[in-house]
Amino acid sequence: MARKKKVRLQDIAEKTGFSISTISHFINKTRNIDEATQERIMEAILELGYQMPSKRRQFPMKTTLAVIVSDIRVDFFSELIKELEVLAYEEGYQLIIMDSEENLEKEKLCLATMVNLRVSGLLIAPVSTKSDFSICSQLPIVQIDRKVDTGTYDFVGIDNMMTSYEMTKRLLQKGKSKIGLVTFSQDNFCARERTKGYRLAMLEFDLFKEENILVIEPYADSNPTNLSRFLLSNPDMDTLLCTNSNICYEVLGKMKSLGRANPIRFVSTFDNNKWLDHVSFPIDAITQPVTSIAMTAIEMLKNKIVDSQTMDIGRKIILNCTIEGRSSLFKEDGSEGPQVLNL
């Protein structure tokens, strides 16, 4: 088998039309370069498979793991990263953390960075079901919380569709027939599966209406307007399910600003964040087993690192959730604290 030709700075220069000097300045960060030029150079580096040198490598090659999350601002990911860092440290690994910010292009740069740092393994919550890990083909990978639609990779998380189905079904069984859903783009694995579960339960009770689903984008300026329109145009809808806690936060803000015009009386959300205990409006929350997800992910990645025969085997481990009920729907006994129920 012919040995792959090593990519040189000259190859990148020929590909981009820039001088070798400009390419060198970009790689070594020795001169300010405009953003458009940086993007063209990085595209060429990724396409050609150039291995950027790491003259000042700070991390021992065999003791470093990487984690890339899609949005570090989400409380679930913040908690997960802390758990992963503690567990990795106990196992003798250092952890490099990067945030792809729900952006496929930034995710590619994060992946390229981890390859060039020669980390031992990668934990990733991909931006999209269409995310491409091909640049990391020789790297042990475990997906956490989210997954891609193609490729053979390990995964640990919850059954998002069935969890959403069970939560919606419980709300229906409590007499709530006018249930709406606020979710993200269906390229987001969790959003897609949680939307499926909601739809399945509503169809089962012959209550599904497409207009009761609102799709918003993370941190979009249009979200407040779209939420207002959604709530005011559905005055009979008194219950909402949010597919993550950031959505829930935006929903609560809009409910407050609408005042008496707000039709919503009950809100449920994925991810039981500590701030929910301090909100006057009682939120029923689905609690993911963050510690168990982190422990399982580290163990799966360790196994992949030490046993190369598992590289082409995609294992899937599904963990159970609980409901932390704060509203009168779940606290029928009138107790003060949240009611914890198994899903």
Q: Clarify whether residues 228 and 334 are in a common domain.
A: yes
User: Rounded distance, CA 27 to CA 21, Å?
Assistant: 10
Q: Clarify whether residues 211 and 256 are in a common domain.
A: yes
- Is 80 exceeded by the pLDDT of residue 37? yes
The CATH number of residue 141's host domain is: 3.40.50.2300
pLDDT tens string 210-250? 999 999 999 999 999 999 999 999 999 999 999 999 999 99
Residue 59 has a pLDDT of 45
Specify if 280 maps to a domain. yes
Specify if 4 maps to a domain. no
Q: Clarify whether residues 208 and 154 are in a common domain.
A: no
pLDDT tens string 2-23? 445 778 888 898 999 998 778 8
Q: Clarify whether residues 208 and 143 are in a common domain.
A: no
- Is 70 exceeded by the pLDDT of residue 54? no
Specify if 54 maps to a domain. no
Q: Clarify whether residues 244 and 171 are in a common domain.
A: yes
- Identify the domain containing residue 151 by its residue range: 61-158+290-319
Q: Can you say how many angstroms the Cα of residue 127 is from the centroid of all Cα atoms in its chain?
A: 6
Q: How confident is the model at residue 57 (pLDDT cuts 50, 70, 90)?
A: very low
Q: Clarify whether residues 258 and 179 are in a common domain.
A: yes
Specify if 32 maps to a domain. yes
Q: Clarify whether residues 183 and 277 are in a common domain.
A: yes
Q: Clarify whether residues 153 and 302 are in a common domain.
A: yes
pLDDT tens string 164-190? 999 999 999 999 999 999 999 999 999
Residue 308 has a pLDDT of 83
Q: Clarify whether residues 23 and 138 are in a common domain.
A: no
Name the average pLDDT for the chain: 91
Specify if 56 maps to a domain. no
- Is 50 exceeded by the pLDDT of residue 46? yes
Q: Clarify whether residues 40 and 90 are in a common domain.
A: no
Specify if 3 maps to a domain. no
Residue with tokens 């106990």: 90
Specify if 191 maps to a domain. yes
Residue 7 has a pLDDT of 84
Specify if 1 maps to a domain. no
Q: Clarify whether residues 338 and 234 are in a common domain.
A: yes
Q: Clarify whether residues 228 and 206 are in a common domain.
A: yes
User: Rounded distance, CA 269 to CA 83, Å?
Assistant: 22
Number of domains in the chain: 3
pLDDT tens string 257-312? 999 999 999 999 999 998 999 998 999 999 999 999 999 999 999 999 998 888 88
- 3-class SS string, the chain: CCCCCCCCHHHHHHHHCCCHHHHHHHHHCCCCCCHHHHHHHHHHHHHHCCCCCCCCCCCCHHHEEEEEECCCCCHHHHHHHHHHHHHHHHCCCEEEEEECCCCHHHHHHHHHHHHHCCCCEEEECCCCCCCCCHHHCCCCEEEECCCCCCCCCEEEEECHHHHHHHHHHHHHHCCCCCEEEEECCCCCHHHHHHHHHHHHHHHHCCCCCHHHEEECCCCCCCHHHHHHHHHHCCCCCCEEEECCHHHHHHHHHHHHHHHHHCCCCEEEEECCCHHHHHCCCCEEEEECCHHHHHHHHHHHHHHHHHCHHHCCCCCEEEECCEEEECCCCCCCCCCCCCEEEEC
User: Rounded distance, CA 50 to CA 4, Å?
Assistant: 11
